[in-house]
Structure 1
């Protein structure tokens, strides 16, 4: 690292993934690693503003960049705000990746999403499935923006010899998640609904769709650990599992669960004793999303937090936030 240390800019450090990565980096710094951490809130630095981003990179000159900033949301949010999702994510990626290159940053890690893969991609989804078929319609604008981020990294690597890497997480959950009643992803939405039903003494909860789609879930602390693992890989090791046209790496636990089974697990964790019903009139989304994580496994990393253990921890965090909100009123 050298005597001056490595300055790492974490873009999106207040988001669920970015905050977890920042926690992990702070722990490494506290343990003695020579790391300097660089962050900015969205109020301090609008990543959709090209001039502001360029000025920031010129002034701060980070050595490495972790691009965890993104506009994210569940099925409802993606359906309701498609223009926002494609515009903001494209602008963030273009501005940050180009400014990093212009400032001479050699290594960058961009975080994407499993929604980059076709709706009916063979399961489990391997990295090579990218751009082989039609995307899921409900989140196509977001997916296209994330695919563009991968191709930006690949293009700067090919044309300029940069070392820009991309990791594609499966569905994430954990502390810092979004529990908004309309704009949250499926797991925090279920926690919120079943917790409210248990408190109210309701005798039933209805979930969206048929309950048959299968999803894979990864705790955000596992995602943070995997992200830094990939960021830290030496170039030769990383390139043994990637090439200029297949530079992204899947991150997941390698196991999936049906939405109905997930709802039953959440109900058990929060103490809801009533009936769980499905609503086939609501959209299911992609039938199955399971990541092929064999490339990451060959590199030497695998997930370590079981789903139920992670759910218990996440529900505890949710209750703490709820109590803190009540105290602040």
Structure 2
């Protein structure tokens, strides 16, 4: 990519898409093409084709998707499957027809089998059954990976797939009903501090191990791969993560320290723990020349600052 390239970021208002926009702007890219879902319905094939024919982007970051937590995935599996298949199929096909130089398709580590060995290596894809609660979303993302590979093989395109680990950072979802563990704990511990509670209870034993990647690192990895790597180097897809893990107990301790909650930390082992461990193998990513830069404490501080400025006053 050169700085005058026309770059389309699909899903630019989301957690990852907004971080990609920030990263590109910081690197001097000025011709960014952005559309809200109201301005361009990516489920509409004709609308997507007309958009690509008019704008002619050189590069595409496909970060748009229908996403949600366990409850939403379990309640609306048909919508998660249909809408994600439509979004990615329309954008990938339009990118091919309009000779986009390179496209990056963003997925999720939920593509891996529920009982896959740890850490998760790219070669474990399709070696076992998926986690039932997000099967529809995972199947759509697996289809996206296979579609990119098929287009590369048949049409000679440069479509790259990346699978991020658990992400967090500015513009995260802090809704207690649908958010993931880090933003949910941040909000709850902040409330405990404001209320001057003597203790704070975390669901589960605190023993499960998780990996967290700051969204600005995720964006930097995507831009790095777009600028420096081709589809042949990536092969099928590449994990994006830190390769580091910590327990939920350690995460809660870190959050308490950053937030300034001095009460007692308690764990309710009668509540479910979920998957014992979920860690990505980032060997391929490191071989491609990219390493994460933002360690957890700094990332949590950054995220809490954003939370205080944008969310806390509305609680």
**Smaller-chain TM-score bracket:** over 0.9
Report the counterpart of residue 244 of structure 2 in structure 1.
255
Cα gap change, 1:27 to 1:131, in 2 (>3 Å) = same
Structure 1 Cα separation of the partners of residues 213 and 105 of structure 2? 18
C-alpha contact 2:229 2:288 (8 A) present in aligned 1: no
Measured after TM superposition, the shift of residue 280 of structure 1 is 4.3
Distance in 2 (alpha carbons) for counterparts of 1:256 and 1:94:
34
1:145–1:301 Cα change, 3 Å: same
Task: Report the counterpart of residue 78 of structure 1 in structure 2.
Answer: 73
Q: How does 1:314-329 map to 2 (within 5 A)?
A: 314-322=303-311, 325=314
Count of residues in Structure 1 that have an aligned counterpart in Structure 2: 315
Match of 1:289 among 255, 260, 278: 278
3-state DSSP of counterpart to 1:273: coil
Cα distance in 2 for partners of 1:73, 1:163 equals 29
The residue correspondences of 1:121-160 to structure 2 (distance < 5 A) are 121-160=116-155
For residue 210 of structure 2, the aligned residue among 191, 212, 215 is 215
User: Residues 195-241 of structure 1, C-alpha deviation per residue, up to 9 Å, x if partnerless?
Assistant: 11111122333333332221100011111110011111243xx524x
What's the CA shift for 1:286? Answer: 2.3
**Correspondence for 2:113:** 118
Query: How far apart, CA to CA, are the structure 2 residues paired with 1:151 and 1:283?
Result: 34
Cα distance, 1:281 vs. partner? 4.9
Q: Is the deviation greater in 273-282 or in 62-71? A: 273-282
| Structure-2 change in CA distance of 1:263 and 1:212 (3 Å) | same
State the match for 1:224 in structure 2. Answer: 219
What is the DSSP-based 3-state SS (H/G/I as helix, E as strand, rest coil) of the residue aligned with 2:201?
strand
Structure 1: stretches of 5+ with no match in the other structure = none
Aligned to 1:6: 5
Write the distance in 2 (CA, Å) between the matches of 1:262 and 1:186. 9
Cα deviation code 1:7-31 (max 9, x no counterpart): 11000111111111101111122xx
Contact 1:73/1:185, CA 8 A, preserved across alignment: no
In the other structure, the counterpart of 1:239 is 232
Whether 1:311 aligns to 2:310 is no
Provide the residue aligned with 1:265 in structure 2: 254
Larger deviation, residues 249-258 vs 263-272: 263-272
Once residues 278 and 94 of structure 1 are traced to their aligned partners in structure 2, the CA distance between those partners, rounded to angstroms, is 44
The SS at the match of 1:43 is coil
Question: Offset of 1:279 from its aligned partner?
Answer: 3.8
The alpha-carbon deviation at position 275 of structure 1 amounts to 3.2
Q: Which whole-Å CA distance do the structure 2 matches of 1:81 and 1:207 have between them?
A: 28
Other-structure match for 2:196: 201
Residues in 2 aligned to 1:143 and 1:280: alpha-carbon distance in whole angstroms: 29
Question: Structure 2: any 5+ residue segments left out of the alignment?
Answer: none
Segment of structure 1 superposing worse, 176-185 or 4-13:
4-13
SS in 2 for 1:6: coil
* CA pair 233-46 structure 1, distance change in 2 beyond 3 A: same
| Equivalent residue runs for 1:184-195 within 5 Å | 184-195=179-190
SS, match of residue 104 in structure 2: strand
Quote how far apart the aligned CAs of 1:257 are: 1.0
User: What is the TM-score with the length of structure 1 in the denominator?
Assistant: 0.90
Does the 8 Å CA contact 1:12/1:18 hold for their aligned counterparts? yes
Structure 1 stretch displaced more, 259-268 or 53-62: 259-268
How far apart, in 2, do the equivalents of 1:201 and 1:163 lie? 54
CA RMSD of aligned residues (A): 1.9
C-alpha deviations, 1:62-111, integer Å up to 9, x for none?
Answer: 11110011122333433343333222222211111111112222310011
Alpha-carbon separation, structure 1, partners of 2:75 and 2:198: 31
Displacement after TM superposition at 1:249 (Å): 0.6
Normalising to structure 2: TM-score of the pair? 0.94
